[in-house]
Structure 1
Amino acid sequence: MPHSQPGGTGHLLQRTFFASETARVDPALYADAGGTPVRVERDCAVLSDGSRLSTDTYFGRFAAAYWQRYTDVGTVAVEFDYSCDDGAELTVATRASDISGRIRPLTVVGLTGAGRAVVEVQIDRYLDGGAAWFDLAVVGGRARVWNARWTTAVEPVRDRRVSVVICTFNRPDDAVATVGAVARDADLAERVETVHLVDQGTRRVADAAGFDDLRADLGSRLDYLNQANLGGSGGFSRGIYEATAAGRPLTDVLVMDDDILCESESILRMTSFARFAREPMLVGAQMLLLSETTRIHMTAETDDLDHLTCADPPPNARRGVNALEFRQDVRVIAGYNAWWSCLIPREAIDAVGLPMPYFIKWDDIEYGVRCRRAGFPTVTLPNAGVWHADFHLKDVDDWSSYFGQRNVLISAAIHSRFDGKTISATVAEHIGELIVGLKYGQAAIELRAVRDFLAGPYVLADGGRAKLAEINALRSEYDDTRLRPASEIADLPVIPRPPAPAKKWERRVLVKRAAQQLLGRRAPGRVAIGADDGAWWHVGRFTSAVVTDASQTGVRVRTYDRATSVAQGRELATLCWRLRRQAPELQRAWREAVPQLTSRENWERLFATD
């Protein structure tokens, strides 16, 4: 039953906010008034006579299934301050869902006057799925609700603070905003030991407007570091290295991108879950799209290293759903969580070491897989999210595809069966599609990636800086990599793509399209193709195609070149033959190199490079 008391009943697990700190985020992600007259602020809701407000929303729910499965918290309390006009009655109803989304009532209580309400909720009957929330309704006048929190009287398993690590490169304003979201949150201040801000750019964060305010807010808790550009893996590794250095307090580590729109409540929920988890585990936030703030990139992710893929939805996970419409009731087992925001327990870092010196791409995935194989699984919380730049607005045809291809091969060699037949066939199909799709520049750098992987672990010796310059130089030799203003190209007929070939026929279609190109059976002239229609099996039908870049900022001209196509095809065949033949020895070499590559000594050497 509810009662009034001056303080809370226990440890803070999560807060219920009724709106975002920024107007660009739909408040319906936090609370839903159903069209009734309700005025909401960040921490307060004012309900008029006859109005209702539900927290059965993305940020309003309590992820009961995850708390039941991974913690010993059996009872939580919903607490909030309230005041009602004379004659007004505020009704508080707690409700729950199950794995199928069916809703069941838990408690219904009526409140009058003013005070602090505390309503208990049992965390049971949620093992496979379900969440809990509360709804408000008022009659007879107006009511105000504020300072809503979910707490527990259960003691945490580990009462540990966190070190926040943010890596940035020439995004000073974004970095200030992200660190500021942490610095401004009073509840987080009790949990954050240090913010390690690793600046690898030439436009220094220290010169940005607002940085002095961060210094004042965080004081000695801000550790601002400058170093040479070692990519995302080097930036994050520096922060993790500093957070776990001898003499520093024992903390978990929370890694975050610099270019996110940060919801500080998500960080609080991640730290809460990590404190109460029975066993140490990685706790991640979901990615919401920055351009479409109500859409979830993926509810959870896993990998298939046997086939060189990541960002695959595990069973019951969903991709691209609208958080205003889709309720995440089914408990999903994640394989890893990307580092737009992910908490890593100190025990895992001590057990597996630092990240691989990949420069960029796959460092967070490989680390999550390494932790998982060492007994530290990942949970992606369904009511914790940050907004990140949309992946579908980034074209994969850029310099980073070299690192993606090289690093996935390394990760597969370390962690998968690494069957030579399967791996070589997968590489042949992928790069073959680039060649047939007239992406000769991208094919060239990915062929270089395979060649470098075959050369062995020494290719990671410099952390990737020299390789970045080399890859950019190689890529610039191919005209199809150049992003042009659309105004440079005359209007052309736009050719939409036909239906995609069935998955089981894709390899056959690839061989057929390559043969047609060699035999000159290509549509003559030049056509225009939209970004969404730029699949290899469509572009490869034409002699020349002007393809819109995924960013929608320009176009690329892709033109068939017989000599380049034949030369790249031959190189691909040679490399794939070597992959298949040398798979066992490559796997052994890369696995043996992991302890040295991820050691503090190796990273100290790289950090010292100017």
Structure 2
Amino acid sequence: MEQATAGDTTPIDSNIGALEEVLTEPAGRDRLIVQRGLFASLSPRVPEKMYVFTKGAAAADRTGLQLADGASANTNTYFGRFPASFWQRWTDVDTVHVELAYASSGAATFSVWASDARGRERLVTVEKVSGSGDLDLDLAIERFVDGGALWISAEATSGSLNISDVRWTVAAPEHLRPAAVVICTHNRADDCSVTVGTLASDDGAMADIDAVCVVDQGTDQVQTRAAFRDVADRLGNKLVYITQPNLGGAGGFSRGMYEITGSPNSAHANVILMDDDILCEPESVLRMNAFANMTVQPTIVGAQMLSLSNPQMLHVSAEREVLDEITAGELTPGARMGIDLVKKKQDARFDAGWNGWWTCLLPAEIIADCGLPIPLFFQWDDIEYGIRARFAGHPTVTLPNAGVWHADFYLKDYDDWARYFSIRNGLIVSSIYGRFDANDISKYLFRKIGELIVSMQYGLAATFIKAAEDFLAGPDFLHDGGQAVLGELRELRAKYPETQPQSAAKVGADSDPHTQMSVWEFEPDKKREGLVLAKRAVQQFTGRVDRRSVTVPAHFANWWHVSLFDKAVVTDSSQNAVRVRRRDKDTAVDLAKQAAKVCWRLRKEAPRMKKVWQEALPQLTSRENWARLYGIAE
């Protein structure tokens, strides 16, 4: 991602309270722009084919397309398609109007195409033009319930053709919703400066955004960056900059929601939450906001996550939670992930259980009905909120042509302090909304900790155990918003050497010269995994393991593989370092005892904890609780 440069460290003026001045209902209008025809990204990282396909001699910029004689183009692309199926399902709009300006030195042909849920294409209309003018088309949004999209193609049949100012519009509602963007950041000053700057650079996307609220929880603050100061000058009174102690993503996003929904004219506002370290496509914000203005009921509208390292790949699509396995999510029917968006399309309509807050819109009415997020500090806060909203009758829609680029999750190592929040918060959310069967949940957790122990990830096993213990301590543990536990986690994990990343070169220099790389494609049958785990545990306990010095690539570092050795140098998933895992019988036994104890408690106390957490939810998510955490007098 492009880096902003550090500059003058003089603080910018804080605009806390400025929401009272800038959050106003947009002026009435006849038409609402719901999508613009863009032909290139603001970033050179993103391939043109995410916006337009061209054949022959052609040139494209952000808003214009130039075709030489015989050249053609079509917008059957990720950002070029209009998601007609989602509009037919979630709005009462029955017609979308497409307009564009053209200039041809000869003759040209414009065609509109549609697809269905299976990707079968059909021609909607063909228009032949010449000279210069405007093309105006009314397209029916029908026959798309199960899936399908609309897009435009153009051909310079004789002479050159220039296209510009492509707009998809619908009849505007009587009252448009004011909107504000909230960006939470913690010591990513350069990334945040770039993200805010990218959004602010697009006047069209910013036209219906009244405020950009940056909640800075770091010690390396965004306001010290010259690039951010320049953006602040551009945004003027639209910028609301707030500093506060680190309360995690939950605390940062909640602060923006707290300020916006507490301001005048916010009863029907759209609150758009956005990560600080994404590669932002401002058009996605325009599309989400426009869609939310037209849904038949207040609806959470989310953007998809695209891959920052491979920008034409879909990283995360629509998801649902798997609470019985304390798992953040799995694909919903029809949703896709890990696909090349240049080669494959998302034609089948899909539903979503929730949407991550990398970029997600929450209507103020839903916040008023459901309250603010639960102070989970990190992870599961967005999932919990989406589930809570869904249980209250408020749907989530993940738009397939609205996306932002985010760093790939697979480049983050699993053996990390963040796993504490994955497990603790997963238990909390599962207890509130899931079956939370005492037998199933305790067995599942013990199994997972056992896998970590046999693979010699002792620090991570201890992290899981602490997560379960803190869950059982009850809601009072969240009294400080999650700050104190960070220090406790660092202290706990420091006791286990394998949690510390090391230089691959240094470890390699100190290793046995006969060290071998060990790779193994074997994966135990799902029905026999329990038996394999028991066998590995016995082998580790008795020392009947391979004592050769081995290195294990990250891709092959499964518990059933690493547990075969007495020592293994395992590549970190980040590919920046290695972890040295050594068998330690005493540590393994001690952790197994702790795991058995906490899982037995979980089995006995699960029904009570379910009730405790459910009863605590209204207080935890109240404005009063967040005001206390922020040190604000309500």
- Offset at 1:182? 2.2
1:318-374 per-position Cα deviation (integer Å, ceiling 9, x unaligned): 221111111100001111100100001111100111111111111111111111111
* 1:39 aligned residue (41, 59, 63): 59
Note the alpha carbon deviations across 1:577-603, whole angstroms, 9 max, x for none: 111111110000000000111111111
Residue 188 of structure 2 aligns with which residue?
171
Alpha-carbon distance between aligned partners in 1 of 2:68 and 2:526, rounded to the nearest angstrom: 56
Q: Separation in 1 of the partners of 2:95 and 2:491?
A: 60
Cα deviation, residue 433, structure 1? 1.2
How far the C-alpha of 1:223 sits from its partner, in A, is 0.6
Question: Residue 303 of structure 2 aligns with which residue?
Answer: 285
* Residue aligned with 2:101, SS: strand
CA apart distance, 1:505: 2.2
Whether the 8 Å contact between 2:319 and 2:332 is mirrored in structure 1 is: yes
Residue-by-residue CA offset, 1:237-274 (whole Å, 9 max, x unaligned): 11111111143543121100000000000010000110
How many percent identity over aligned positions? 47
* DSSP 3-state at the match of 2:315: strand
Q: 1:588 to 1:157 in 2, by over 3 A?
A: farther
Secondary structure class of the residue paired with 1:33: strand
**From 19, 44, 48, the counterpart of 1:27:** 48
Give yes or no for contact 2:58–2:66 (8 Å, CA) kept in 1: yes
Corresponding position: 1:419 with 2:437: yes
Tell me if 1:76 matches 2:96. Answer: yes
| CA distance in 1 between partners of 2:234 and 2:266 (Å) | 20
Structure 2 CA distance, aligned partners of 1:227 and 1:416?
34
Give the direction of change, closer, same or farther, for the CA distance of 1:157–1:576 in structure 2 (3 Å limit).
Answer: farther
In structure 1, what is the Cα distance between the partners aligned to 2:35 and 2:181?
19
State the Cα distance separating 1:307 from its structure 2 match. Answer: 2.0
Aligned partner of 1:477 in structure 2 is: 495
* Alignment-derived partner of residue 510 in structure 1: 533
CA distance in 2, matches of 1:588, 1:533: 41
Counterpart CA distance in 2 for 1:406 and 1:9 is: 50
The answer (yes or no) to whether the contact 2:266–2:364 under 8 Å persists in 1 is: no
Task: Give, in whole Å, the separation in 2 of the partners of 1:504 and 1:287.
Answer: 34
Give the letter aligned to residue 183 of structure 2. I
- Work out the CA distance in 2 between the residues paired with 1:243 and 1:115: 43
From 120, 131, 142, the counterpart of 2:160: 142
User: Which of 553, 569, 579 is the matching residue for 2:602?
Assistant: 579
Secondary structure at the aligned position of 1:291 is classed as coil
Separation in 1, partners of 2:376, 2:174: 34
Q: Which residue, 489, 493, 496 being the options, matches 2:519?
A: 496
Paired residue type of 1:355 = P
Structure 2 gap segments, 5+ residues each: 1-28
Counterpart in the other structure of 2:143: 125
In 1, distance between residues paired with 2:630 and 2:154? 54
Deviations 1:392-444 (A, max 9, x none): 00112111111111000000011111111111111111111111111111111
1:80 and 1:148 in contact (8 A); partners too = yes
Superposition pairs of residues 588-603 of structure 1, within 5 angstroms: 588-603=611-626
Aligned to 1:243: 260
Q: State the match for 2:212 in structure 1.
A: 195
CA distance in 2 between counterparts of 1:530 and 1:161 reads 51
User: Would the aligned equivalents of 1:434 and 1:536 in 2 still touch at CA under 8 Å?
Assistant: yes
CA distance in 2, matches of 1:187, 1:286: 21
User: d(CA) in 2 for partners of 1:530 and 1:441?
Assistant: 20
Which runs of 5 or more structure 1 residues have no equivalent in the other structure?
1-7
Is 1:558 the equivalent of 2:566? no
Higher mean alpha-carbon deviation, 435-444 vs 101-110, is at 435-444
Which residue number in structure 2 is paired with residue 546 of structure 1?
569
Question: 575-584 or 176-185, which moves further after superposition?
Answer: 176-185
The AA in structure 1 aligned to 2:333 is: P
Aligned partner of 1:59 in structure 2 is: 79
* Secondary structure in 2 matching 1:12: strand
Indicate the residue corresponding to 2:631 in structure 1: 608
- Contact kept, 8 Å, 2:336 with 2:346, in 1: the verdict is no
How far off is 1:574 after superposition?
Answer: 1.2
Tell me, yes or no, if the aligned pair for 1:9 and 1:77 is still in contact at 8 Å: no
Q: Name the SS for the 1:542 alignment partner.
A: coil
Alignment of 1:82-231 (within 5 A): 82-85=102-105, 88-153=106-171, 155-156=172-173, 159-231=176-248
Deviations 1:222-244 (A, max 9, x none): 11000001111111111111111
Aligned to 1:5: none
State the shift of 1:158 in Å.
5.2
**2:574 & 2:400 partners in 1: Cα distance?**
28
Check conservation: 1:170, 1:202, Cα contact below 8 A. yes
Native 8 Å contact 1:173 1:209 kept in 2: no
State the AA in 2 paired with 1:574.
Answer: K
Picking from 335, 339, 344, the partner of 1:326 is 344
Amino acid at match of 1:558: R
Aligned residues: 598
Does the Cα contact within 8 Å between 2:108 and 2:158 map onto a contact in 1? no
Aligned equivalent of 1:18: 39
- Range with bigger deviation, 220-229 or 183-192: 183-192
Structure 1 residue 9: Cα displacement? 7.6
Please name the residue that 2:323 is paired with.
Answer: 305
Alpha-carbon distance between aligned partners in 2 of 1:198 and 1:246, rounded to the nearest angstrom: 16
* Partner AA of 1:245 in structure 2: G
Structure 2 length-normalised TM: 0.93
Distance 2:228 2:316 in 1: 33
Structure 1 residue 10 displacement after superposition: 2.4
Superposition CA RMSD, Å: 1.3
